[in-house]
């Protein structure tokens, strides 16, 4: 086993960002990939106009790549925000306005995974109030995902880079997964296992894999330290992905790393070209 046995997609919100958004799907295809994922592309607008949605949809279809993952609106990413759904007031309202728009866009491209970032803690607001709001909005998102045959992903980030984000361990994220599934009865909430974030938190990655592989709906990777391509840090990513497969995970592995001081097209030398197309 090894990298060649995985199904990789490219996150176009962190790779190929030197190009305008409509050009990125074709660039990923030119690099040999057949699948892509995205954070919510319109950071200032949870409800962009139909022409903007149609233009991105056409770019993805014309490139011949599959959209396999999409974030709901999460505020400024990259930037200080880490989601909107647990933030009282305008931000959570923007999230709610986005839910059907994002689900409809995902459905139009056959995307079956929607990621909902939890959101930062807010000074002066009771965490219990934020958690209650989060559960309400995550249930809304889970029902929208279910209507299009998709799963809802819930992700742990890392405390050094996201000190105000409350889900900074695998158990914390999986606990929210369980609460959403209990609230909706749908069972379509899953854990997004980002090995970079979990490593930054100091978690025992083999133990996390063994414990939560069956609860995992998507995996993302970057090396640690540095959040670069595999081989630029010290994580044994090939071994970890092998362990995931042996534990039963057969889903997508998102490449969510920084290309460094080189064009993104040159940041895939660790992966043979013949291994980039999904089989």
* Distance between CA atoms of residues 1 and 137, nearest Å: 40
Given 91, 155, 182, 203, which residue is catalytic? 155
Q: Among this protein's residues, is 274 annotated catalytic? A: no
Given 37, 91, 203, 256, which residue is catalytic? 256
Q: Among this protein's residues, is 37 annotated catalytic? A: no
Catalytic residue ranges: 155, 256
């Amino acid at each position: 086993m090894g990298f060649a046995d995985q199904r990789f997609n490219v996150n176009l919100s962190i790779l190929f960002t030197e190009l305008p958004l409509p050009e990125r799907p074709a660039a990923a295809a030119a690099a040999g990939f057949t699948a892509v994922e995205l954070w919510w592309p319109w950071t200032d607008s949870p409800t962009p106009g139909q022409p903007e949605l149609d233009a991105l949809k056409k770019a993805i279809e014309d490139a011949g790549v599959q959209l396999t993952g999409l974030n709901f609106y999460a505020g400024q990413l990259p930037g200080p925000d880490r989601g909107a759904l647990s933030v009282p007031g305008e931000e959570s309202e923007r999230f709610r306005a986005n839910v059907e728009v994002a689900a409809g866009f995902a459905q139009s491209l056959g995307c079956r995974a929607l990621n909902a970032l939890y959101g930062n803690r807010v000074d002066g607001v009771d965490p219990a109030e934020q958690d209650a709001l989060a559960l309400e909005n995550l249930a809304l998102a889970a029902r929208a995902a279910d209507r299009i045959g998709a799963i809802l992903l819930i992700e742990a980030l890392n405390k050094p880079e996201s000190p105000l984000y409350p889900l900074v361990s695998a158990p914390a994220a999986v606990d929210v997964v369980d609460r959403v599934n209990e609230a909706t009865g749908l069972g379509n909430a899953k854990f997004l296992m980002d090995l970079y974030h979990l490593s930054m938190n100091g978690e025992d990655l083999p133990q996390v894999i063994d414990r939560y592989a069956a609860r995992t709906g998507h995996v993302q990777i970057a090396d640690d330290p540095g959040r670069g391509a595999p081989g630029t840090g010290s994580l044994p990513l090939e071994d970890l992905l092998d362990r995931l497969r042996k534990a039963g995970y057969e889903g997508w592995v998102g490449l969510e790393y920084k290309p460094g001081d080189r064009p993104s097209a040159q940041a895939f030398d660790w992966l043979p070209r013949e291994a980039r197309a999904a089989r």
